[in-house]
Structure 1
Amino acid sequence: MKQIPVKDVTPKKSNESVQTYDLYAKREHIYVKYYRGFFKNLRSLSGFVLLFMFFAFSWLQWEGRQAILFDLPNRQFHIFGMTFWPQDFMLLSWLLIILAFVLFFVTVFAGRLWCGYSCPQFVWTWFYIWAERITEGDRNQRMRQDKGPNTPEKILRKTAKHSLWILIAAATAIAFVGYFSPIRELIPNLLSFNLGPWEIWWLGFFTVATYGNAGWLREQVCIYMCPYARFQSVMFDQDTLIISYDEARGEKRGKRKKDTDYKAEGLGDCIDCHACVHVCPVGIDIRDGLQYECVACGACIDACDEIMDKMGYPRGLVRYTTEHSLSGNKTKIMRPRLIGYFAAMMIMIFAFVYVLSNRIPLEFDALRDRGELYSQLEQGRIIQNVYTLKIANKEQVDRQYRINVTGIEGLRLINEAVVNVRSGELLDYPVRVQLDTNLLTSANSPILFSVEALDSEQIRASTESRFMGPAPRR
């Protein structure tokens, strides 16, 4: 059966010469050639949208404050109209699990689309490749320049490239830190050299990290550092959409002139121009078969299609395909593993949305006074317990709450029943609860404290506690 070719790295038998492979090879600079095509336009669009969101969203305002702000000192995480607290950490864990299943689903269905079109490493890498091209020229010009002597033009172009790289890295660091420190205050403080130590540290760290990863390491991050490239193959099957070279159509490779009867010479459609290699950001030859380094960006497809158009051959020598399709069989879209991932993903998404939409922006707890179990007033006719109520207003507006206590008939609250809690405040409110001795039925009775917002019946919370007193006489 016809299959997608793969690189054979199986060790030789004992009676054959053994070829060794280094776990890490010295990086050779990849000169990416400029090209045009559908998949490049699609990737450019997705990259522009993601970059715009990253740089612009920190400037959005919502009800007088930054719309997205992770306020670590105050332990508040604002996302538009919602504020999350450390107690909501389970929601974050839940969200990460959902995103993992989304990634698994997309990988089983369409391979490494995340890497090629959405991964921050490659979004910034293509950004840096663009900066490299406009300052140093296209592939051949850069190669000649690097091999040549250090002329004034070469030094000027290199300086311009690295200056632009550092500028992009600094802007990236400022935008990132702006999600943790209000960006409308961060930039004026930066210009006036009035930053705190942690802001200076993270600005410097992300500037260096962006400059190093996108400018120097690039594909090395994907090959040696990213775990996704290592385990994504276990999610592939014969119906997974991947980029592949049609070996049956392309072989035998060879140079030829246009409009010649190349098939009579025993040649395939591949003219061995290496255009697919020259545009690859990870420097692989897709004709060698399926390789874990491939990030499925579609650059080789665009480059090959352009050559096929020039030669007058049909497009698709290199294309998105499946192993079943390449062998002439029908691709199965609906398959058990894909359905399983989709079902699990949708169940978790619906449950997450339900929990989030029904989340009460109020935390409430009652702590008994540890100094004494109870006190007797008016010559023992009244039993009193003291509690500290903790009321956390997790909304972005001030609220008034009414406090109530129930559980024993005749139980009364000897405090103001309405309290004001500011936005984001955790209020410690001491209260005294009293009960006539003749109404006490047990030395240890369960009671229920509750709070309710005066302007919204949906915002309420309750917590149990215990009311202590002397054992009642029988």
Structure 2
Amino acid sequence: MNQIPVKDVTPGKDNNSQSYDLYAKREHIYVKYYKGFFKNLRTAAGFFMLVMFFTFSWLQYDGRQAVLFDLPNRQFHIFGMTFWPQDFMLLSWLLIILAFILFFVTVFAGRLWCGYACPQFVWTWFFIWAERITEGDRNKRMRLDKESMNREKFLRKTAKHILWLIIAAATATAFVGYFSPIRELIPSILSADLGPWELWWLGFLTVATYGNAGWLREQVCIYMCPYARFQSVMFDQDTLIISYDEARGEKRGKRRKGTDYKAEGLGDCIDCYACVNVCPVGIDIRDGLQYECVACGACIDACNEIMDKMGYEPGLVRYTTEHSLNGKPTKLLRPRLMGYLTAVVIMCSAFVYVLSNRVPIEFEAIRDRGALFNEVRGTLIQNVYTLKVANKEQVDRRYQITVEGIEGLNLVNDPVFNVSAGELLDYPIRVQIEKNKLSTANSPIVFTVETVDEPKVSATVESRFMGPAPIR
């Protein structure tokens, strides 16, 4: 009988085998300070996000916090609108829309989300800035870490970690301020009068921010973020990605400015490692597209600065496509990209329509299950209902109830009542009709609730009116 040939690849035996660690020990990345267009663009995007995050919880709208997720009362206030758990479908819809927008952007221009808008990297750059102003630029930080502990090193390290903790604590406070009113939270922190859940989340988020942005940094993107693992499947040969122009840059080598490097067989890359020194994830873009790349554009700015100093054309490292690098035309309008765009436009239009026509009333009618019906004075048939009316607005409303479906139906209770802002009211109501006007023992009826004041808003709900079977 033939045997399948087997090769022994046990580590340690003389079989030229190599073993690899699934997790490599982290080497600290010293990011060099640089300037450039993409840095300015990223700084503007990050600053915009930080301003929104830290200020939106302080905005007021109609006398209350404009953005507040009130979990104990199950109400989510976003400026003039209040959402309830029943509106969870809208949140799901919104998340699906955001996912499709992310897919569209990724197909078009790679990982722009990671480089310019991801909170992990916005805060990472924030922490790198704090590191630079306390310990100095890249070379100074490297020398400082190699030195033995002395007074200067202790003071600089202490100042850095204090600044990191201040940023982390401010981040945690701002985040919790979206769930507990920020104007009440700050005095509670200052007076050490916090509830257990507030204390827990403030502590947890402070530690998480300090650890993720200060210590883990790129490790979160490389090992923890799932997007880095599947985003490449959305790339094609027409996707804009950060690439090194190998045909132009090779062969690498040092040279003096103004020399005829072409005669020496050299390309435009002077092998200065500027692109590596500014990379926040520590990769060499000249090795090709790597899943660790977050498309922040730092290597482009650094390389363009060197090209300018050398008198070469910029763009040795640039946003480009695989087709463009190979001298082929790039197709911007392609089926997959247009498919995502069409889906996004349709879903956004439908979402805006549903949101703009959303009725701020939750209405339900529950029949009394204690008795199918009651006879009143021998000639009237009565059904009892409990109307549940939720005022989903942020102002008190006055409502009126009407019922129709059978000619001669009458409401016994006062059909007009008040519901406070955000209140769910149980309103018992009795409906009567003359016995001789019933044609069936089970008749459909419709309750309508509408606002008495402006603007006019109404909601309807169907129910059943029960009575004795008519005598034929």
State the TM bucket, normalised to the shorter chain.
Answer: over 0.9
Partner residue in 2 for 1:434: 432
Rounded to whole Å, the distance in 2 between the matches of 1:263 and 1:417 is: 91
In structure 2, the partner of 1:284 is: 283
AA matched with 1:414: V
Q: Distance in 1 between matches of 2:217 and 2:432?
A: 69
The alignment partner of 1:429 has SS state of strand
Q: Does the residue aligned with 1:451 lie in a helix, a strand or coil? A: strand
Correspondence for 1:447 among 445, 449, 454: 445
- Find the counterpart in structure 2 of residue 5 from structure 1: none
Pick the aligned partner of 1:419 from 414, 417, 420: 417
What is the alpha-carbon distance in structure 2 between the residues aligned to residue 143 and residue 439 of structure 1?
A: 93
Matched, 1:381 2:379: yes
1:213 maps to 212
CA shift digits 1:139-177 (9 cap, x unpaired): 111111101100110000000000000000000000000
| Structure 2 equivalent of residue 101 of structure 1 | 100
**Is 2:257 the counterpart of 1:258?**
yes
Structure 1 Cα separation of the partners of residues 82 and 190 of structure 2:
30
Residue in 2 aligned with 1:7? none
- Structure 1 position 16, deviation (Å): 8.5
Which structure 2 residues correspond to residues 284-363 of structure 1 after superposition, within 5 A? Answer: 284-363=283-362
CA distance in 1, matches of 2:42, 2:126: 11
Corresponding residue SS for 1:125: helix
Structure 1: 5+ residue runs without aligned partners? 1-10
The corresponding residue for 1:4 is: none
| Aligned-partner residue type, residue 388 of structure 2 | K
Match for 1:398: what amino acid? D
What does 1:65-84 correspond to in 2, within 5 Å?
65-84=64-83
The equivalent residue for 2:231 is: 232
Distance 2:220 2:310 in 1: 36
In the aligned structure 2, how far is the partner of 1:237 from the partner of 1:225? 24
Q: Residues 389-412 of structure 1: CA distance to partner in whole angstroms, max 9, x if unpaired?
A: 000000111111110111111110
Describe the SS at the equivalent of 2:25: coil
The 2-side partners of 1:207 and 1:70 are apart by 20
User: Which residue of the partner structure matches residue 463 of structure 1?
Assistant: 461
Does the residue aligned with 1:237 lie in a helix, a strand or coil? Answer: coil
Counterpart in 1 of 2:3? none
Identity of aligned residues (%): 78
Deviations 1:224-256 (Å, cap 9, x if unpaired)? 000111101000001000001111111111111
**Equivalent residue for 1:111?**
110
2:269 corresponds to which residue? 270
| Distance in 1 between residues matched to 2:19 and 2:299, nearest whole Å | 29
Which residue matches 1:3?
Answer: none
Q: For 1:374 and 1:260, locate their aligned partners in 2 and report how far apart those are by CA, in whole Å.
A: 102
Q: Which amino acid aligns with 1:107?
A: T
**Which residue type is aligned with residue 279 of structure 2?**
C
Q: What is the CA RMSD across the aligned residues, in angstroms?
A: 1.2
How far apart are residue 17 of structure 1 and its match?
Answer: 4.0
User: TM (normalized to structure 2)?
Assistant: 0.96
Secondary structure, aligned partner of 1:271: coil
CA distance in structure 1 between the aligned counterparts of 2:436 and 2:271, rounded to whole angstroms: 100
Cα drift, residue 258 of structure 1: 1.0
Structure 1 position 18, deviation (Å): 4.0
CA distance, structure 1, for counterparts of residue 223 and residue 456 of structure 2: 51
Residue 441 of structure 1, CA deviation? 1.1
> Residue 219 of structure 1 aligns to which amino acid in structure 2?
E
1:334 aligned partner, one-letter code: L
User: Quick one: which amino acid aligns to residue 243 of structure 2?
Assistant: S
* Counterparts of 2:269 and 2:17, CA distance in 1: 32
Deviations 1:189-231 (A, max 9, x none): 1100111100001101110010000000000000000011110
Partner of 1:137: 136
Residue 257 of structure 1: how far off its partner (Å)? 1.1
User: Within 2, Cα distance between the matches of 1:333 and 1:30?
Assistant: 36
How many Å separate the matches in 1 of 2:188 and 2:100?
41
What SS does structure 1 have at the residue aligned with 2:355?
helix
Aligned partner of 2:29: which letter?
Answer: I
**Which residue is equivalent to 1:247?**
246
- Distance in structure 2 (CA, Å) of the matches to 1:247 and 1:403: 75
1:469 deviates by 1.3
154-163 or 305-314, which moves further after superposition? Answer: 305-314
2:157 maps to what in 1?
158
Which runs of 5 or more residues in structure 2 are unaligned? 1-8
Q: State how many pairs are aligned.
A: 460
Shift of 1:19: 3.5
* Structure 1 CA distance for aligned equivalents of residues 104 and 16 of structure 2: 42
SS in 1 for 2:448: strand
Matched, 1:123 2:104: no
AA aligned to 1:469 is G
Q: Partners of 1:320 and 1:266 in 2: how far apart? A: 26
Which residue of structure 2 lines up, in the alignment, with residue 34 of structure 1? 33
Corresponding residue number in structure 1 for 2:6? none
In the alignment, the residues of structure 2 paired with residue 233 and residue 103 of structure 1 have an alpha-carbon distance, to the nearest angstrom, of 13
Q: 1:444 & 1:24 partners in 2: Cα distance?
A: 69
Instruction: Detail structure 1 runs of 4+ shifted over 6 Å in the superposition.
Output: none
The residue matched to 1:262 in structure 2 has which SS?
A: coil
Question: Partners in 2 of 1:87 and 1:191 — Cα distance?
Answer: 36
Amino acid at match of 2:402: N
